[in-house]
């Protein structure tokens, strides 16, 4: 689907990215300490942090995958996002002050204070492995789309985006990241609204015909609703969404680090609410775009898209149906989503590298030395992201990387279970936790190896085929089970070992006691 953009669209895309980068640098004040470089000196207004959280959650994968999912099916994937505000309301009142009080920079400092250095190492490595694999996927997919839209070589696109994001993150730190995300968030919103409007009112018969087809064919639906964890059902997405929300807002460095950039607890809570309550309507918008695409091509006859996969229809629409100028705007929005994910990950990689590892082994190091190392980590991580995306491009996203990232999933599972065990069970101790983690790793290894197909010798094969004993539940349930195993096995196993002294301020029970005493 390689197309040739009009020169005006190319200029618009380049100008929008240059503007975003200059805007970020303009608001990035002198980055002369680790506090300013990683936490923006705690001086960012809550609305800007909220927009940054929003832009980080709404990545280019959302931009491309949600319309494809709704086009090919219905809105069931949206259920995961709908769980986020429900869980957030129940957690954010406690999580924000907990982290702002107990950690300096890394989310996983909490894990060490609660369960020791091993838990901190497990949590930080899990973040690094998961986000490096995600970063490579996002980078590759957006570079593939941009190369097809603009007719450029994919490796050139990867290099340009990677170098640009690395430089702006390297120079401007978290402050530049947040202010770039603000503009990118607005570009994403505008791009989505423009696409939805063109699809809704540009089809034969207008909005009425589009909605009639959508309702007739049950495209605006989140079923099936049967209680079945083998197929993708409403209840699978509800359970998965609950743990996704806890993972993102309670254990993910890209979100927790933003709590530290606010002036106080109240501003940090407000930012979290802005981020999630802005995300849900936009997730819904991109689902609606997929539904409108379905109706649009039904009304048009569908001959133009015959043979296309569901996730290829929206890129086709952008490339062939949008007028000059609008096409450049939408591609800019797609790029904005990618940059929002990449710049955030690079800064967080550096924060974890400095705080969880360098400071641990060189506690006498100066703040200046830590800042210099942080910049080096950003540069190296940016280079690594370019290499990973290029490998994906060379192998088509398959092959050995699929196997490698499947193994990453095995050894980085159960983080939410670890977090909840520390918060909710004061009796839980580090030995009990490790029993839970070992049980979780063994179960996850079994489930991944007996259910996931990887490209081996040119064919997709299950690595360990046990026949009737294979893991058969839906892949979204694997993460849920891993968290539950860590929580319940760790809880039960803790009673097999001597009780440990626990800082009650690290648990919800201790927090509620202190809150009641202060009233």
Domains in the chain: boundaries: 7-397, 398-519
- Degrees to nearest 5, angle at CA 1 with 3 and 320: 60
Residue ranges of alpha helices (H) inside 322-468 are 326-352, 359-361, 367-395, 400-410, 415-424, 430-451
Of 157-161, 396-400, 423-427, 432-436, where does mean pLDDT reach its minimum? 396-400
> 7-397 — its CATH code?
1.20.1730.10
CA–centroid distance for 461 within its chain: 28
Q: Which residues pair with 455 in a beta bridge?
A: 460
Q: 516, 53, 423: which is closest to 269 by C-alpha? A: 53
At residue 437, the pLDDT reads: 95
Backbone angles phi, psi at 461, to 5 degrees: -135, 150
Q: How confident is the model at residue 296 (pLDDT cuts 50, 70, 90)?
A: very high
pLDDT by residue (tens digit) across 100-156?
988 888 999 999 999 999 999 999 988 888 787 777 777 887 888 888 787 788 899
At residue 515, the pLDDT reads: 76
Q: What is the DSSP letter of 483?
A: H
- CB-based contacts of 107: which residues, under 8 Å, 6+ apart? 99, 123, 127, 251, 252, 253, 256, 257
**Encoded tokens for 290:** 């997929």
Q: 438, 230, 183: which is closest to 333 by C-alpha? A: 183
Does 396 have pLDDT greater than 70?
A: no
What is the biggest distance separating any 2 CA atoms in the chain, rounded to whole angstroms?
72
H or E stretch at 203: none
pLDDT by residue (tens digit) across 331-364?
888 887 778 778 888 999 999 999 999 998 899 9
User: For the chain, what percent of residues have pLDDT higher than 70?
Assistant: 93
Q: How confident is the model at residue 79 (pLDDT cuts 50, 70, 90)?
A: very high
Are the beta carbons of 191 and 332 closer than 8 angstroms? yes
Q: What is the DSSP letter of 473?
A: S
């Amino acid at each position: 689907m390689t197309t040739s953009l009009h020169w005006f669209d190319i200029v618009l895309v380049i100008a929008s990215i240059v503007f975003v980068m200059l805007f970020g640098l303009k608001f990035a004040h002198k980055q002369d300490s680790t506090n300013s470089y990683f936490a923006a000196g705690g001086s960012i207004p809550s609305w800007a942090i909220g927009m940054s959280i929003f832009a980080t959650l709404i990545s280019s994968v959302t931009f491309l995958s949600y319309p494809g999912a709704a086009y090919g099916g219905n809105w069931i994937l949206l259920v995961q996002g709908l769980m986020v505000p429900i869980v957030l309301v129940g957690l954010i009142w406690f999580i924000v002050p907990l982290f702002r009080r107990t950690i300096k920079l890394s989310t996983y400092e909490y894990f060490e204070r609660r369960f020791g250095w091993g838990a901190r190492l497990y949590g930080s490595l899990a973040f690094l492995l998961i986000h490096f694999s995600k970063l490579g996927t996002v980078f590759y997919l957006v570079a593939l789309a941009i190369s097809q839209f603009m007719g450029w070589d994919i490796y050139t696109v990867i290099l340009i985006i990677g170098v640009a994001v690395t430089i702006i993150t390297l120079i401007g730190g978290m402050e530049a990241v947040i202010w770039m995300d603000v503009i990118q968030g607005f570009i994403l919103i505008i791009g989505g609204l423009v696409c939805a409007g063109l699809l809704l009112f540009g089809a034969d018969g207008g909005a009425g015909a589009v909605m009639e087809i959508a309702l007739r064919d049950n495209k605006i639906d989140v079923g099936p609703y049967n209680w079945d964890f083998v197929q993708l059902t409403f209840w699978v997405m509800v359970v998965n969404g609950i743990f996704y929300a806890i993972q993102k807002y309670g254990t993910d460095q890209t979100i927790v680090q933003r709590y530290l950039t606010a002036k106080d607890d109240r501003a940090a809570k407000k930012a979290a609410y802005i981020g999630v309550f802005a995300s849900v309507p936009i997730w819904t918008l991109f689902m609606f775009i997929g539904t409108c695409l379905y109706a649009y091509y039904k009304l048009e006859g569908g001959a133009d898209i015959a043979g296309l996969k569901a996730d290829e229809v929206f890129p086709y629409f952008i490339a062939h149906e949008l007028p000059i100028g609008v096409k450049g705007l939408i591609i800019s929005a797609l790029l904005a989503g990618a940059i929002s994910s990449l710049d955030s990950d690079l800064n967080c990689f550096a924060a974890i590298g400095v705080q969880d590892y360098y400071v641990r082994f060189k506690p006498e190091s100066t703040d200046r030395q830590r800042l210099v190392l942080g910049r080096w980590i950003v540069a190296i991580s940016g280079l690594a992201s370019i290499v990973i995306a290029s490998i994906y491009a060379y192998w088509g996203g398959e092959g050995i990387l699929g196997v490698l990232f499947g193994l990453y999933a095995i050894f980085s599972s159960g983080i939410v279970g670890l977090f909840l065990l520390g918060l909710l069970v004061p009796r839980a101790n580090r030995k009990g936790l490790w029993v839970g983690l070992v049980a979780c790793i063994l179960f996850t290894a079994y489930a991944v190896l007996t259910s996931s197909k990887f490209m081996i010798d040119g064919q997709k094969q299950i690595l360990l085929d046990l026949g009737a004993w294979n893991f058969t539940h839906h892949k979204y349930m694997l993460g849920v089970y891993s968290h539950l195993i860590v929580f319940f096995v760790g809880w039960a196993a803790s009673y097999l070992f001597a009780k440990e002294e626990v800082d009650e301020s690290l648990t919800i029970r201790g927090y509620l006691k202190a809150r009641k005493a202060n009233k």
